Amino acid sequence: MPHILQDILIIFLASYATLDNQGITIMNYWPVTVGLFAGLIMGDLPTAMTIAGTFQLMSLGVAGLGGASVPDYGLATIVGIYLSARTGAGLGAAVAVGLPVGLLTIQLDVLIKIVNNFIAHKAQ
């Protein structure tokens, strides 16, 4: 598959999964599910499932109770698989890059909640 087509499909998968996770959830957003699709797109399913399984283990037991924000392990999985398939890096590099991306989504989630609060008050 051409690299540009892989890039477009990975961007579409990441954006769809993130938007789907914010509303009525149609797709299961666990790292192993997202990792399966990312692995099929990138053409390296065994490595993708190893990376997805690692992020799945990290996400077990993490829940956003009481409005708490949790890392986006699905997005971290997509970034890790993309990096590993594109550069040939191993599991360590995929986790080392994917996990900070997942943790960055905590801050973005808090920012979105703050902005939504102002928008909701203006809409009334």
Q: Name the 3-class secondary structure at 102.
A: helix
Confidence at 49, pLDDT banded by 50, 70, 90: very high
Token match 């990792």: residue?
35
Count how many residues are written for the chain.
124
What percent of the chain lies above the pLDDT cut of 70? 100
Asked whether the beta carbons of 51 and 84 are under 8 A apart, the reply is: yes
What digits encode the pLDDT tens for the residues 86-115?
998 889 999 999 999 999 988 988 898 899
Looking at residue 80, what is its pLDDT? 95
